[in-house]
Amino acid sequence: MEQIRAVVHGVVQGVGFRYHTRHTAQQLGVKGFVRNQPDGTVEIVAVGTSDQLNSLLDWANQGPVSAQVTKVEVDPHTGSAHFDDFTIER
């Protein structure tokens, strides 16, 4: 399993981005979380296979219809966290 951290930029808060990210991640079988950041971005920490994570990132680059994604920064995440599901953190 791989683990990544992605930061999504653009109009991504107040448009259902976290809800849709959780739904997409759960459909793909990805574990982790999504949360809003104070600077207006959305952070995604996800664990899954390379194919699962690539599919999630493909989706994140578009987001839900009401979002306007301008950039997605992706880094490997080296945390040792264990996730049972994909959740929205506040």
Catalytic member of 5, 18, 22, 54: 18
Catalytic member of 36, 54, 61, 90: 36
Distance CA 30, CA 22 (A): 9
Amino acid in position 11:
V
Q: Burial level of 21, CB count in 10 A (0-12/13-18/19+)?
A: buried
> Is 36 labeled as catalytic in the residue annotation?
yes
> Is 5 labeled as catalytic in the residue annotation?
no
| Catalytic residue numbers, as ranges | 18, 36
